[in-house]
Every structure is written in C-alpha cells, then in structure tokens.
C-alpha cells in the first residue's frame, strides 16, 4: 500500500511537471530562477531573490509580497522557468498575478503561470519544502536589484 501511494504521488507530480514543460512555448525569450520563503498566520509575507537570464546576460532580482486571507505555515520554494513577452530587462519589474487557474500543488510540486502589467509572462515550476496552506488573494512583486 505504501509503495502504491508513493508511486501515485510521483506519477501525479511527473504529469504536472511534464504538462508545464509542454505548455512552455519554444519561443520563450529568457529564463528565470527564484527562491521564495513564505510564512504567516492570517497575514503572510514572502521574500526572496532570483536571477533573470536574457540575451546571454544575467540580472539579479528581488522578490517580495504580502498575503491576506486564510494563510498559515511556512515554506521555501525554488522555482525555475521561462520568461516570455519581454523586450528589455526592466520589463520584469512589477506585480505579478496568476493567469487563470494556472496554479497546482501536487505532492510538493508547484506549477504556476504569472503575468505583470507589462505583459511579461512567467511559467514557473518548483518544489516546495515546508508546510504552507493558503487560500488568499496575493501578489508577488519582482524587481531588478
């Protein structure tokens, strides 16, 4: 029974990651890595850093945000993904919200698509470590350092 449950979770996580990889367009203009620490009780906060890779150059990023609603716990998530609809590095600056129902949590794997006011789209996937439950309205702010 235990092997079956582990296999089931591994298979679901694999399908989620493959779905995100297939949904990522081949014309993505850059890549991004972000590490976010999130915690809270009713009101939460997140803080992190990352790197934007665009045109053969790397640009350091800061990440932050607040959450309000049903929030409790703490977690760290390392995301990797693609960046599209970006003309210059400064286009990455802004507040990001989820595009449609693009977030999924399956066995600690998170897959999400985010967009800012400049039209920049981030397709991210990553593994979450820790216990975090939230049903909230939240935004994530990203800025060049």
Asked if residues 139 and 95 have their Cβ atoms less than 8 Å apart, the reply is yes
Neighbours of 13 (CB within 10 A): 17
Which residue ranges make up each domain of the chain? 2-144
Task: Report the pLDDT value the prediction gives residue 131, as an integer from 0 to 100.
Answer: 62
Other C-beta atoms closer than 10 Å to the C-beta of 21 total: 13
pLDDT at 136: 47
pTM of the model: 0.69
Of the candidate ranges 5-9, 21-25, 95-99, the one whose mean pLDDT is the lowest? 21-25
Q: How far apart are CA 23 and CA 111, in angstroms?
A: 11
Neighbouring residues of 8: CB distance < 8 A, sequence distance ≥ 6: none
Element (H, E) at 5: helix 2-23
Instruction: Say what the pLDDT of residue 62 is.
Output: 95
Residue pLDDT, tens place only, 41-62: 767 778 899 999 999 999 999 9
The number of helix segments (H) and strand segments (E) in the chain equals 1, 7
């Amino acid at each position: 029974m235990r092997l079956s449950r582990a296999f089931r979770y591994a298979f679901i996580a694999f399908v989620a990651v493959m779905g995100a990889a297939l949904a990522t367009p081949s014309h993505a203009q850059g890549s991004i890595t972000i590490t976010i620490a999130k915690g809270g009780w009713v009101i939460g906060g997140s803080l992190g850093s990352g790197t934007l890779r665009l045109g053969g150059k790397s640009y350091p990023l800061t990440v932050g945000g607040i959450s309000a609603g049903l929030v409790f716990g703490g977690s760290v998530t390392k995301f990797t993904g693609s960046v599209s609809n970006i003309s210059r590095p400064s286009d990455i600056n802004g507040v990001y919200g989820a595009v449609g129902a693009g977030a999924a949590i399956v066995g600690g794997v998170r897959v999400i698509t985010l967009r800012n006011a400049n039209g920049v789209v981030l397709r991210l996937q990553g593994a979450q470590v820790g216990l975090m439950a939230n049903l909230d309205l939240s935004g994530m702010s990203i800025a060049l350092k």
